[in-house]
Amino acid sequence: MRLIGEARIRDLLPAGSPGRLEASGVVFVDGRHLVIFDNLRAVARIDADLSRTAANDVTWTPPAGESPGYEDIAHDPSTGHLFLLIESERRDGGFQARVEEYDAGLNPVASGWLEYPIARANKGIEGLELVRRDNGVHLLGLHESGGLLVFRPGRRNWKHVATVELPGGLGLADYSGISIDGDRMALISQQSAALWVGELAPDKWAATGLGRTYRFPHGYCTVEGVCWLGPSTVVVVSDRSKRDSQQAHCRDKEESLHLFEIDD
């Protein structure tokens, strides 16, 4: 992979914006990167070329200031709606992920559970993508420990209806983000500092072929979210580095947006 641009998120936002920006997901909509954070109930909107412009802003989601933050964000091009993922919350004595739906102006539309049991609060659904298939909307939830789960809307919540078959031996230690554009699928791993690119079958919930794994350059220790920008270009966001367990050089690339070209 070849880096073609990057910037610290805090350097792109107006004065008075939060100082700690633990980026965890990104989509690209109408010429702007929409970034969410696992420590904030907010969406940052940032210019496509990573410039600090007057249009860059942070929009808080209600109830503003309350935890938890978001793990990923998905976009429905047909409606313009955004789907914001909460990794896990307590429900019926256990844990489940929850998704909040907003319109294009970030006004609340709905909220529902992803009905799939989660063993531990911090080992939940890390990635989210929206796919329209069979005349319906599906949310794909990427479980941190390896499952790509398919959900369809029920009466109030999202029902688990399938699990995507992924190739064995991907060599990714965990999963932290997903992006699908047509049949192209990208999965990102923070622990492995790697990006896997494959294809999603058009007629079944399965990847076709083995795909290919790409390694991020040295220092990209906290990659979290990913979004396709073009046939061979992705935008990636990075979380805050862990001061107690990651080396100091990991801080050089934290809390940032990165543009990469994927070289075959």
Whole-angstrom Cα distance, residue 113 to residue 60? Answer: 21
Q: Could you give the maximum distance between any two Cα atoms of the chain, in Å?
A: 49
Q: Can you tell me whether residue 134 is helix, strand or coil?
A: coil
pLDDT at 147: 87
Q: Is the pLDDT of residue 51 over 80?
A: yes
pLDDT at 245: 75
pLDDT at 207: 95
Sorting pLDDT into bands at 50, 70 and 90, what band is 145?
low
Q: Is the pLDDT of residue 219 over 70?
A: yes
Residues written for the chain: 264
Question: What pLDDT, in 10s, does the model give residues 72-113?
Answer: 999 999 999 999 999 999 998 899 999 999 999 999 999 999
Q: Can you tell me whether residue 249 is helix, strand or coil?
A: helix
pLDDT at 194: 96
Sorting pLDDT into bands at 50, 70 and 90, what band is 149?
very high
Tell me the residue ranges of DSSP E strands in the chain. 2-8, 23-29, 32-37, 42-47, 57-60, 72-75, 82-91, 94-102, 108-118, 125-133, 136-143, 148-153, 158-164, 177-181, 184-189, 194-200, 207-215, 223-230, 233-238, 256-261
pLDDT at 65: 58
pLDDT at 243: 78
pLDDT at 71: 95
pLDDT, averaged across the chain? 93
Q: How, if at all, do strands 184-189 and 194-200 pair?
A: antiparallel
Q: Is the pLDDT of residue 146 over 70?
A: no
Question: What pLDDT, in 10s, does the model give residues 249-258?
Answer: 889 999 999 9
Other beta carbons within 10 angstroms of residue 144's beta carbon come to: 21
- Section 146-152 average pLDDT: 90
Higher pLDDT, residue 139 or 241 = 139
Sorting pLDDT into bands at 50, 70 and 90, what band is 120?
confident
Q: Tokens 């409606």 label which residue?
A: 79
Question: What pLDDT, in 10s, does the model give residues 174-205?
Answer: 899 999 999 999 999 999 999 999 999 999 99
Q: Is the pLDDT of residue 67 over 70?
A: no
DSSP state of 248: G
Q: Tokens 């200031």 label which residue?
A: 65
Query: What CATH code would you report for 2-261?
Result: 2.120.10.30
- Section 25-44 average pLDDT: 96
Whole-angstrom Cα distance, residue 24 to residue 195? Answer: 15
pLDDT at 66: 62
Whether the link from the prior residue into 68 is cis, omega within 30° of 0, is yes
Whole-angstrom Cα distance, residue 96 to residue 190? Answer: 22
